[in-house]
Amino acid sequence: MKYMSTRGNVKGINFQDAVLMGLADDGGLLVPEEIPFMSIKEIKALKDKGYQEVALIIMKKYISDIDEATLEEIVFKSYKTFEDEKVIPVIKLGNFYLSELFHGPTYAFKDIALQFLGNLFEYILDQRNDYLNIIGATSGDTGSAAIYGVRGKKGIKIFILHPRGRVSRMQELQMTTVLDDNVFNIAIAGTFDDCQYIVKEIFSDVEFKRKYNLGSINSINWARVLAQIVYYFYSYFQTDEADSMSKVNFVVPTGNFGNILAGFYAKKMGLPVNKLIIATNENNILYRFIKKGDYSIRNVVETYSPSMDIQIASNFERFLFYLFEGDSNWVVKSMKQLKNEKKINFSDELMKKVREIFDATSTSNERNLEVIKEIYDKYKYIVDPHTACGIDAVLKLKNFYNEAFIAMSTAHPAKFIDSVVKAIGAKPEVPNGLKELENKEKRVYELEASVSLVKKFIEKNL
């Protein structure tokens, strides 16, 4: 399997090089040159396998330059850190399923990809006797999951930008209490979109990127998306629908389009999926796109679900590549329009194609808390504010589709205690891994939202 850029000027890249490259050198995102298709018979054969076994089989289809024994070792090592033996258990709440993606070391779905990516980086760098300086932006969960994935690893330094005061207290503590010498937390005076812009601009400076061996842990890194494809298959296998290979609807809280994109790949691979439903909060550019064809950037508003307080969905470019049937010229044109005009125009014909795959909902801040309370009152089960957006989508759309719903639960509610208390008047049970953070020493560096300042900081600390 080889990889190419969505913008057409980088082609024939093997998997390991794609992992280290992160953002393609032409400014695009790397995608597989083909998407492997699995027959229903092949998919059904995965049904009774463990998570690691399913992961190995799916990943092998995209990785041809790591031998199977080594890949198996990396995969099994990555998911030993999870507290639930299933890695991702699926429960049923009334008439829908909930896939618990938060049993990793930082209690968020990002661990599923970033535990794998951290071990992958370590293997590749060791084989090449090389080093890597990782730079990434986070709206909350990516940062801590990335840090926990690479902390203390040989040959790696990591620089994580988060929007100062715009992540939850627990998310901030998970990042800033990691004091390993190879970890640098940077609080940016701005929004997540400012952080993401800085990272993309730095990666677009190819000379700077090569000089300092920069790599990415954001979902612009293909390995992140690949690892997340697996849990769509595994979640499906834990439902009654898997017995008859019936189609399901996946509901996915998403702001950066990475989580839902993995579901898109799973559907393209042959998993029986009817609709992929995007659940947004009030920062609803993806909802406006699906429902109205309106992909225009507005100001970010603060919500109870801060990891989705995003207007510029970086992984959207990968979807555009497929929407435009692999025409990189259209991708470049669209991304240029987005940069210059803060919007992308879509024809009615293209939107018809989009709606065959996706549906979407938007949840207000007030409604978010109501959903948390409704689920708690009815099932004595506590969900975090991001998952609540997903459940709201199920409640809004359950009468529109005949197929079963699987909602992705993206974070442990204890990471958002203030919002949960506001909703139900009680604190969720806090895992020991989060309790101990309050009394730990912290280290964080504060910078203005400036590409040049962040570059200088990186140079100073290498």
Residues with catalytic annotation?
A: 110
Angle made by CA atoms 6, 7, 8, in degrees to the nearest 5 = 95
| Helix (H), strand (E) at residue 387 | helix 385-397
DSSP 429: P
Rounded to 10 deg, the angle between the 222-237 and 110-128 helix axes is 130
| Sequence letter at residue 239 | T
Q: Which tokens in the block code for residue 87?
A: 């890695």
- Centre a 10 Å sphere on the Cβ of residue 413 and count the other Cβ atoms it contains: 27
Strands, sheet with 445-448, edge to edge from the N-terminal-most edge strand: 214-216, 132-137, 156-163, 183-189, 445-448
Beta pairing class for 358-362 and 273-280: parallel
User: DSSP E strands: which ranges in 73-131?
Assistant: 90-93, 96-100
Whole-number Å distance between alpha carbons of 167 and 302: 10
Give burial (CB, 10 Å; 0-12/13-18/19+) of 243.
exposed
How many residues would you count in the chain?
A: 462
For the chain, the 3-state helix, strand and coil shares in percent, each to the nearest 5, are: 50, 15, 35
Which is it for the CA torsion 257, 263, 264, 265, positive or negative? positive
Interacting residues of 243 by C-beta distance below 8 A, sequence separation 6+: none
